[in-house]
Amino acid sequence: MQVIKYVFQPHGDDRGQLVALEEFKDIPFRIKRVYYMYDTGAGVTRGYHAHRSLEQILICIHGSCKIRLDNGREKKVIPLEKPYEGLYVSNAMWREMFDFSPDAVLMVLASELYDERDYIRDYDEFLKYVKANGGDADAEE
Ligand code: TYD
C-alpha cells in the first residue's frame, strides 16, 4: 500500500509559522469541505468507514493522533504529529483515527460535500466493494 504524506511549505519568519494550502497546487483536488475534530476523548477511536468517491487530506494541526489505513488487503498506521504534514486518504480506503493527544485538532480537507450515501460503514461491505472495484491494483506496493 502506498502511503502519500504531503509535507507543506511553512512560511516561517521571526513572527512564527504560516502554512497556506491551495486546491490543485498543494492539495490534489478541489476543496469543497473542511471539518475538524477536537476534544476527542482519551481512548476514543473514530472513523470506521470508507468512502466510495471522496478523497481527503488529514492534517493534525495541533497535538497528535494516529491514522490506520486499510485498503482491504493491507493495513498501515501513520502517526500525524506535525501541523505541516498532510496524509492523503483516497476513496475506497477504510480509516480509523485514534491515539489523540488531549490537545489534538485533526483537520480534514475533503473533495466533496457531506453525503451519507458516499459512506461505507460496514467492514464486510467494504471488503466486497474493494473486490468488486479492483481494489488490489497496487497489490505489489
Ligand atoms: P461521523 O461520521 O460520526 O465522524 P467520523 O469521521 O468519526 O466517523 O460524524 C459525526 C457527526 O458529524 C455525524 O452526526 C455527521 C456529522 N457530520 C456532518 O454533519 N458533516 C460532515 O462533514 C461530517 C464529516 C460529519
Average model confidence (pLDDT) for the chain? 95
Q: State the pLDDT at residue 134.
A: 80
Q: State the pLDDT at residue 102.
A: 98
Give the 3-state DSSP-derived string for the chain, with helices as H, strands as E and coil as C: CCCCEEECCECCECCECCECCCECCCECCCCCEEEEECCCCCCCCEEEEEECCCCEEEEEEECCEEEEEECCCCEEEEEECCCCEEEEECCCCEEEEECCCCCCEEEEEECCCCCHHHEECCHHHHHHHHHHCCCCCCCCC
Question: Is the CB–ligand 1 distance for residue 119 below 6 Å?
Answer: no
- Which region among 24-28, 73-77, 133-137 has the lowest average model confidence (pLDDT)? 133-137
Place of cell 502519500: 4
**What is the whole-number distance in angstroms between the Cα of residue 140 and the centre of ligand 1?**
33
Q: State the pLDDT at residue 38.
A: 98
Q: Specify whether the CB–CB gap between 66 and 99 falls below 8 A.
A: yes
CATH 1.10.940.10 assigned to 4-12+22-132: no
| pLDDT band with cut points at 50, 70 and 90 for residue 114 | very high
- The protein residue whose alpha carbon is closest to atom 3 in ligand 1 is 47
For 48-61, the pLDDT digits (tens) are: 999 999 999 999 99
**What is the whole-number distance in angstroms between the Cα of residue 72 and the centre of ligand 1?**
23
Which ligand 1 atom lies nearest to the CA of residue 33? 22
Q: State the pLDDT at residue 32.
A: 98
Q: State the pLDDT at residue 95.
A: 98
| pLDDT band with cut points at 50, 70 and 90 for residue 136 | low
How far, in Å, CA of 121 to CA of 102, rounded?
Answer: 26
Beta pairing, strands 94-98 & 46-51: antiparallel
Residue-range domain boundaries for the chain? 4-12+22-132
Question: Is the pTM of the predicted complex or chain greater than 0.75?
Answer: yes
Residue 9's alpha-carbon distances to 17, 18, 38, 51, in angstroms, are 10, 9, 24, 28
For 66-111, the pLDDT digits (tens) are: 999 999 999 999 999 999 999 999 999 999 999 999 999 999 999 9
For the question of residue 11 being annotated catalytic, the response is: no
